[in-house]
Amino acid sequence: MSRHVISLRDLTDGDLEWIVRRGVEIAAGPADAGASLRGRIVGIYFSRTSTRTRTSFTAGALRLGAQVITYGPGDLQLNTGETAEDTARVLGGMVDGLVIRTAGPPEEMRTFAAHCGAVVNAMSADEHPTQALADLTTLSARFGRVKGLRVLYVGEGNNSAAALALALPRFGGVELELRTPPGYGLAPEVLADATALAEVSGSRVRERHDLASLPGKVDVVYTTRWQTTGSTKADPDWRRRFEPFQVDEAVMARYPGACFMHDLPAHRGEEVTAAVLDGPASIAFEQAQHKLYSAMAVLEWCLAR
């Protein structure tokens, strides 16, 4: 049976809940959660830089008893013109699962999925599904639930924001308010899908392109870096549009008791001030740690027999 995590749209609510619950269980227990992947071989192919995601999937696979082969940006013959299709046919016959980060669209991952038992999207141009899974695991561990949480997302409607919008509202009673710079919002199809998912589960997703009339109460303020890994902005004046969207002490002061989240890496002084990122409300590094537990849950869901 093939099990892939390429887009959160592909997962059922039950799949999402299982992965989050399992991540929380692993977080609460010993770091080596058993040997559920003993005898399995996981390929880790990152054509773009990564600190957290690559390490969490590599360490996670090893902690679960799997063996790992890693490929960096310069390793595969994709660099010399071999097609993704041919690469997928070869690797798929040799490894049990592939964890892949590229700058391409999810369709590229689906080429690999056609030939490999399990493919995990470790970030593509338009969605970062394992980031959202780690975020939900962090929220569930911190609040004891995801249902009913109120989240204010401030910043670019990038691949992390897209994944959050496609996952969070499915837990029911969630209020997700996105404030994105004009021209840098969620892709229309992502907003439409997130809104439809929210309606089904009694949640609400709303996006605006200013910081007026912010919600009165939120449990979490979330941002991401302005320059998403592997992406560029055509407008040389883009910073002017982003500057009002910095999460600073004034934003956090509106929400006493709220947590601050950031998927990292961060640029202090751009999307967030140092006082917020390193301050008492910040759970950004707890969030990064949960990437390990969530990666282990994803690998078990994809690969454990």
Closest approach, Cβ 70 to ligand CP, in A, equals 14
Contact status: 229 vs ligand CP (CB under 6 A): yes
d(CA 55, CA 195): 33
Residues 111-130 that bind ligand CP (CB under 6 A): 123
d(CA 235, CA 231): 13
- For ligand CP, the binding residue among 96, 135, 207, 263 (CB under 6 A) is 263
Distances (CA, A) of 137 to 13, 72, 128, 202: 14, 28, 15, 21
Closest approach, Cβ 264 to ligand CP, in A, equals 5
- For ligand CP, the binding residue among 7, 47, 53, 282 (CB under 6 A) is 53
Closest approach, Cβ 32 to ligand CP, in A, equals 22
- For ligand CP, the binding residue among 131, 140, 223, 246 (CB under 6 A) is 131
Closest approach, Cβ 266 to ligand CP, in A, equals 10
Considering the complex, state which of residue 87 and residue 131 has its C-beta at the smaller distance from ligand CP.
Answer: 131
d(CA 106, CA 120): 10
Residues 22-51 that bind ligand CP (CB under 6 A): 50-51
Considering the complex, state which of residue 198 and residue 272 has its C-beta at the smaller distance from ligand CP.
Answer: 272
Closest approach, Cβ 160 to ligand CP, in A, equals 7
Distances (CA, A) of 175 to 49, 137, 168, 171, 206: 32, 17, 9, 10, 8
Closest approach, Cβ 123 to ligand CP, in A, equals 6
- For ligand CP, the binding residue among 40, 52, 142, 290 (CB under 6 A) is 52
Beta strand 150-154 with 67-71 is unpaired
Q: Which residues in this chain contact ligand CP in the complex, by CB under 6 A?
A: 50-54, 123, 131, 229, 263-265
